[in-house]
């Protein structure tokens, strides 16, 4: 295993002696630039500074670490590198055999599954990456990505035989790279449509972007970030109207207003000098969409679906338990309120704290929380989930702007309710490492729904 260490504007390559994989708290054992000392380095602090460009399998696991057996079993070395300290290689001459000088090629060539894993691991499956430059010449295509993880990565797709919609990516959320019989296929599984350079316009794409090629090379530049994704803005309503017209025919310009209709709902948008004013069915809508998120809001309005719109086979239809849903998001606050009140009671009796002062400090905030929680329960709209062979549709009220492709699910976890055994929070874990933001909370048959999602994810 080899890594590039980037610190204080400089970079160097080092063998990796061991790694502790723990998400944002991942650490590695590597050499310093002169290879005279062994260091324990955090991968993120706060920006990413360790880039593993050659993945591999170690022969030993101990205390959460993976690495060379002699390294992990040497207690003296483990003590020497704790708390940000380093170990002099002269004090541990047995590890000099790992201190070979590494010269990394400008381009890494992908030949097998290990090479694929190396690229996708260092690029984090290109999650939150932005295509900044696309160059096509003859049968080759070169794409430079701003990964937003403190590096840029450039891919050379050689002998390209097919591709689709590569220039319609605004930002990538998940991608896969697979080896085929005569080359490779890189697919973008989840993305926001837009333009090269990171402008997201959210206009629909009929297909998912992909490239089929005979060979792939890649390079990495640590410490380089050039941009971040941004939602497309409009100088006038007519340009906005032209883009929305590609989504739905039910969009019109009437005087100084843009009118969008979806079923029985009407969205009216006015352009003002200080931003947009929006009305839904004649009632003023206040929110971020009156400024920077107007594109996303309008696109979601025009593409929302209702349960009766689903034409696929429905495998499960479940409604969230409102009290449990509120408890799911408010439990930490409620528990803190209870403990805070208990602390006030203890201080009143043990330290003779004045009742008026304790009421203001301890009981007033807790009372607010106890009143606020039932209000959240009353105002909470019904959450409904419809599961088909390909998607999970998330409905808030009677309309949905959210869905999750089953193919993106890696695993499913069920957290049972302490109140009712058949009720639980179902959390799908995605392949790119995150969790589905709208956890399923089923009233009955939580275990059956969890088992269903697991079966679908394995297909």
* Predicted local confidence at residue 119, as pLDDT: 94
Long-range Cβ pairs for the range 189-195 (8 Å, 24+): 189/405, 189/407, 189/408, 190/405, 190/408, 190/432, 192/229, 193/168, 193/169, 194/168, 194/169, 194/170, 194/229, 194/232, 195/167, 195/168, 195/170, 195/232
Q: Which residue has the higher pLDDT, 379 or 105?
A: 105
- Whether residues 370 and 392 fall in one domain: no
Out of 346, 364, 379, a domain closes at: 379
CB 174 within 8 A of CB 432: yes
**H helices within 52-105, ranges in order?**
69-72, 75-80
Q: Report the number of secondary-structure helices (H) and strands (E) in the chain.
A: 9, 31
CB 198 within 8 A of CB 226: no
The string of pLDDT tens digits covering residues 297-320 is 888 888 888 888 888 899 998 887
Instruction: Tell me the residue range of the domain where 25 lies.
Output: 2-98
Q: Helix (H, G, I), strand (E, B), or coil: what is residue 322?
A: helix
- Whether residues 349 and 364 fall in one domain: yes
Out of 155, 187, 222, a domain closes at: 222
Is residue 145 in some structural domain?
Answer: yes
- Whether residues 79 and 24 fall in one domain: yes
- Whether residues 112 and 218 fall in one domain: yes
Q: What is the DSSP letter of 82?
A: G
- Whether residues 200 and 123 fall in one domain: yes
The string of pLDDT tens digits covering residues 31-46 is 988 888 989 889 988 7
Whichever domain contains 389, its CATH number is 2.30.29.30
* Predicted local confidence at residue 307, as pLDDT: 86
Please list the residues that pair with 266 across neighbouring strands. 261
Question: By CB neighbour count within 10 A (0-12 exposed, 13-18 middle, 19+ buried), where does 119 fall?
Answer: buried
Out of 63, 79, 98, a domain closes at: 98
Cα atoms found within 13 Å of the Cα of residue 96, Cβ hemisphere only: 8
- Whether residues 412 and 348 fall in one domain: no
* Predicted local confidence at residue 329, as pLDDT: 64
pLDDT band, very low/low/confident/very high, at 351 (cuts 50, 70, 90): low
**pLDDT tops 90 at residue 343:** no
Omega into 346 within 30° of 0, i.e. cis?
no
Is residue 85 in some structural domain?
Answer: yes
Give Cα 62 to chain centroid, integer Å.
Answer: 29
* Predicted local confidence at residue 326, as pLDDT: 67
Residue 214, CA distances (Å) to 109, 114, 180 in order: 12, 17, 9
Q: What is the DSSP letter of 274?
A: T
- Residue 453 CB neighbours (<10 A): 23
Q: How many domains does the chain have?
A: 5
* Predicted local confidence at residue 217, as pLDDT: 95
Q: Which residue has the higher pLDDT, 196 or 361?
A: 196
- Whether residues 52 and 142 fall in one domain: no
**pLDDT tops 70 at residue 352:** no
**pLDDT tops 70 at residue 419:** no
* Predicted local confidence at residue 145, as pLDDT: 95
- Whether residues 119 and 212 fall in one domain: yes
Concatenating the DSSP letter of every residue in 174-215 gives EEEEEEETTEEEEEEEEEEEEETTTEE-----SS--EEEESE
- In angstroms, rounded to a whole number, what is the distance separating the alpha carbons of residues 137 and 308? 48
**pLDDT tops 80 at residue 211:** yes
Residue at token pair 């976890």: 413
- Residue 279 CB neighbours (<10 A): 15
- Whether residues 204 and 242 fall in one domain: no
- In angstroms, rounded to a whole number, what is the distance separating the alpha carbons of residues 242 and 295? 12
Is residue 313 in some structural domain?
Answer: no
Residue 31 tokens, joined: 């050499």
- Whether residues 165 and 200 fall in one domain: yes
Is residue 232 in some structural domain?
Answer: no
pLDDT band, very low/low/confident/very high, at 395 (cuts 50, 70, 90): confident
- Residue 239 CB neighbours (<10 A): 12
Is residue 308 in some structural domain?
Answer: no
- In angstroms, rounded to a whole number, what is the distance separating the alpha carbons of residues 205 and 201? 11
Is residue 189 in some structural domain?
Answer: yes
- Whether residues 122 and 184 fall in one domain: yes
CB 30 within 8 A of CB 36: no
Is residue 454 in some structural domain?
Answer: yes
- Whether residues 65 and 152 fall in one domain: no
* Predicted local confidence at residue 111, as pLDDT: 92
Is residue 400 in some structural domain?
Answer: yes
Residue 62, CA distances (Å) to 27, 29, 50, 65, 71 in order: 14, 14, 21, 5, 10
Residue 390 tokens, joined: 């390909």
CB 415 within 8 A of CB 409: no
Cα Rg of the chain, angstroms: 27
């Amino acid at each position: 295993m080899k890594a590039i260490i980037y610190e204080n504007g400089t970079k160097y390559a080092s063998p990796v002696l061991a790694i502790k994989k723990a998400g944002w708290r991942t650490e590695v054992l590597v050499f310093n630039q002169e290879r005279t000392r062994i260091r324990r380095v955090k991968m993120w602090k706060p920006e990413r500074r360790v880039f593993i460009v050659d993945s591999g399998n170690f022969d030993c696991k101990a205390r959460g670490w993976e690495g060379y057996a002699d390294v992990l079993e040497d207690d003296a070395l483990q003590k020497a590198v704790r708390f940000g300290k380093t170990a002099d290689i002269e004090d541990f001459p047995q590890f000099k055999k790992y201190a070979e000088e590494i010269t990394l090629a400008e381009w890494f060539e992908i030949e097998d599954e290990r090479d694929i894993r190396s690229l996708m691991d260092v690029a984090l499956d290109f999650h939150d990456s932005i295509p900044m430059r696309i160059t096509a010449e003859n049968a080759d295509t070169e794409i430079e990505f701003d990964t937003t993880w403190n590096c840029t990565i450039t891919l050379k797709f050689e002998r390209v035989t097919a591709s689709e919609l590569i220039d319609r990516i605004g930002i990538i959320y998940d991608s896969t790279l697979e080896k085929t019989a005569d080359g490779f296929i890189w697919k973008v599984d989840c993305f926001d449509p837009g333009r090269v350079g990171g402008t997201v316009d959210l206009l629909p794409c009929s297909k998912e972007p992909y490239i089929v090629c005979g060979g792939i090379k890649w390079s990495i530049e640590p410490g380089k970030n050039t941009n971040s994704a941004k939602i497309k803005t409009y100088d006038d309503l007519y340009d906005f109207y032209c883009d929305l017209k590609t989504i739905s025919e039910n969009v019109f310009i009437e005087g100084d207003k843009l009118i969008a209709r979806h079923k029985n709902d009407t969205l009216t948008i006015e352009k003002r000098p200080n931003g947009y004013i929006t009305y839904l069915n004649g009632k003023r809508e206040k929110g971020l969409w009156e400024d920077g998120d107007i594109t996303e809001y309008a696109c979601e309005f025009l593409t929302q679906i209702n349960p009766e719109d689903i034409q696929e086979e429905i495998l499960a239809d479940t409604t969230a338990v409102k009290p449990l849903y509120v408890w799911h998001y408010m439990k930490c606050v409620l528990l803190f309120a209870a403990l805070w009140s208990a602390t006030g009671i203890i201080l009143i009796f043990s330290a003779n704290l004045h009742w008026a002062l304790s009421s203001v400090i301890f009981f007033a905030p807790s009372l607010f929380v106890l009143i606020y929680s039932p209000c959240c329960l009353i105002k909470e709209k019904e959450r409904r989930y419809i599961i088909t062979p390909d998607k999970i549709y998330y409905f808030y009220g009677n309309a949905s702007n959210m869905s999750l492709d089953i193919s993106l699910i890696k695993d499913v976890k069920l957290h049972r309710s302490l109140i009712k055994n058949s009720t639980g929070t179902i959390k799908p874990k995605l392949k790119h490492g995150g969790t589905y933001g709208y956890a399923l909370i089923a009233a009955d048959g939580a275990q059956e729904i969890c088992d269903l999602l697991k079966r679908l994810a394995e297909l």
